[in-house]
Amino acid sequence: MTRVGAHRPGEGSVDSAPSRVSGVDAARGIALIGMFVAHVSPEVESADAEAIIAIADERPRLLFALTAGMGLGFISGGIRPIVEGRSALRRQIAIRAVILIALGLLIWATLDPLVFVILDVYGVAFLLMLPLLFLRARVALGSGIALLAVTPALAEAGARTDLVATVRETPLKFLSDWIVGGAYPVIVWVPVMLIGLAVVRMGLGSPRLVAVMALVGTVGASVLLPVAARLPAPEAASETGWPVLLRASVETLGNVGIGVVVVAGMLALTAFAPSSVRRVNAILLAPFIAMGAMPLSIYTLHLVVIALAIRNEDGVATDDSWALLLGLVAGSMVFALAWRRQMGRGPLEQLLRWASGRDRPDAAASSPW
C-alpha cells in the first residue's frame, strides 16, 4: 500500500484528489458497523455490557459525518481546492443530495424500518455544505468547532419544544427531524462535516497533522466526556435546563474527538506504519475498507434487511437480534469484499455517479459516496 500523499500511476494523492484513502474508508466502515450495533443489538442485563453497546449509539453517527466532510474535501481538490469547474462540482453534489433525499424519504415511506434513516438528512447536509465547500482550512475548522459548541444544545432545546412535538404528529415530521428533532440534525452534522473538510484541506498526507489529530482528539475526549457524564442526561431531565443543554454540546464535542482519533488511527495503520506492518494491516482491515468504500450500498442494504426482519414479540414490533447483528456485519463484509474485487465501485455509488454526471473522464475521482 502506498503512503498517503505518495503517488503511483493512475492513482492520485490524498493531497490532491485521490481515488480512495484506505484509512478514511476503514474509519467509515467502522462507523457502519457501529450503526448496525446501535440498530439491532438486543437489550442486555449486564450494566457493563449495556455501557459498551451504548458506545455505538452516538459516536458512529458523528464519525460518519466526519468522514463525509472528508469526502467533500477530497472531491473538491484536497489541499489544493479546484479553481475551474466549481459550479459544475456544486451542481453534481446538489444532484446527489436531491437523490439521497428522495431515496431516504422513499425508504421511510415504504420500508419504515425501526430506525432513523440517515439518507435524507445526509442529502440536506450536502446542500447546506455547498456554499461552505471552499472555505479556507482554518476558517472551516474554527467555524466547525465554534458551531459544534452551540448547535447540539440548540438541537436539544428545539427537540423539546411544543412546535417540534406538533410537527412530529403530522406527515411532515421529517422536516423537524432534519433540523433538530431526529437522530441526525443537520445543525449538528454540518459543523462536524466542516471539521472533516478542514483536516483534508490541511493535508492528511502529513504524519505530523495525523499525530496532532490523535493528540487533540484524545485530550478533547478525555476531558469533555467525563465532564458531560457529570451533567444530567436528557432522558433524565423533565425540563430543558442549561445543564442538559450544556451536556449535549460537551458530549458531542467529546464524541467527535473520538471520531478524530479513529480516523487518525486508521490513517496511521494504513499509511504511516512500516511497509511490512502496512501489508498486514491492509489484509486485516480489508473488510472495513471495502465496506467504507461503498457506504451508500451497504447502508441501504442493511435498511432493507432490518425492515424484513421486523417481528412482533409480546405485541411489540422489534428487529433486535444477535444473529441479525452478526449476519449484517459478516454479510456486509463478504459482499463488499467480493463486489469490490469483481466490480469495483459499489452498485448504488456507481448509479449515483452516473446520475450526477461524475462518470465523465474529466470528473474528479473521489467522493463521499
Q: Is residue 326 part of a domain?
A: yes
Confidence class for position 10, pLDDT limits 50, 70, 90? very low
Rg (CA), the chain: 20
Beta strands in the chain (DSSP E): 311-313, 316-318
Q: In total, how many domains does the chain have?
A: 1
Cβ atoms of residues 220 and 254 within 8 Å: yes
Question: Is the per-residue pLDDT at 304 higher than 50?
Answer: yes
Q: d(Cα 240, Cα 248) in Å, to the nearest integer?
A: 11
Q: d(Cα 225, Cα 250) in Å, to the nearest integer?
A: 7
Residue carrying C-alpha cell 482550512: 137
| CA distances in angstroms from 133 to 5, 64, 75, 193, listed in the order given | 22, 18, 10, 10
Q: d(Cα 67, Cα 25) in Å, to the nearest integer?
A: 8
Q: d(Cα 173, Cα 167) in Å, to the nearest integer?
A: 5
pLDDT digits (tens, 9 = 90+) for 114-157: 888 899 999 999 999 999 999 999 999 999 999 999 999 999 88
Total-model pTM = 0.88
Q: Is residue 12 part of a domain?
A: no
Mean pLDDT of all residues in the chain? 87
Question: Which three cell numbers, joined as nine digits, stand for 243?
Answer: 445543564
Spacing of C-alpha 362 from chain mean position: 27
In the chain the first and final C-alpha atoms are separated, in Å, by 22
Q: d(Cα 246, Cα 80) in Å, to the nearest integer?
A: 37
* pLDDT-above-70 percentage for the chain: 88
Residue 123 belongs to domain spanning: 22-356
Question: Is the per-residue pLDDT at 362 higher than 70?
Answer: no
Side-chain-side CA neighbours of 63 within 13 Å: the count stands at 32
Residue carrying C-alpha cell 490524498: 14
Torsion sign across C-alpha atoms 61, 354, 344, 282: negative
Confidence class for position 239, pLDDT limits 50, 70, 90? low
pLDDT at 313: 84
CA 294, 148, 63 angle in degrees (round to 5)? 25
Q: Is residue 362 part of a domain?
A: no
DSSP-derived letter for residue 183 is S
pLDDT digits (tens, 9 = 90+) for 162-199: 888 888 888 888 888 888 877 789 999 999 999 999 99
Backbone angles phi, psi at 313, to 5 degrees: -125, 115
Cβ atoms of residues 12 and 19 within 8 Å: yes
pLDDT digits (tens, 9 = 90+) for 33-52: 999 998 998 887 676 667 77
- In three-state secondary structure terms, 198 is helix
Question: Which three cell numbers, joined as nine digits, stand for 122?
Answer: 445526509
For residues 84-111, average pLDDT: 93
Question: Is the per-residue pLDDT at 273 higher than 70?
Answer: yes
Q: Is residue 1 part of a domain?
A: no
Q: Is residue 16 part of a domain?
A: no
Q: Is residue 190 part of a domain?
A: yes
Q: Is residue 3 part of a domain?
A: no
Residue 203 falls in which region: left (phi positive, over 0), alpha (psi -120 to 50) or beta = left
pLDDT digits (tens, 9 = 90+) for 248-263: 999 999 999 999 999 9
Least confident of 40-54, 139-153, 314-328, 342-356: 40-54
For residues 304-309, average pLDDT: 94
Q: Is residue 11 part of a domain?
A: no
pLDDT at 290: 96
Question: Is the per-residue pLDDT at 359 higher than 50?
Answer: yes
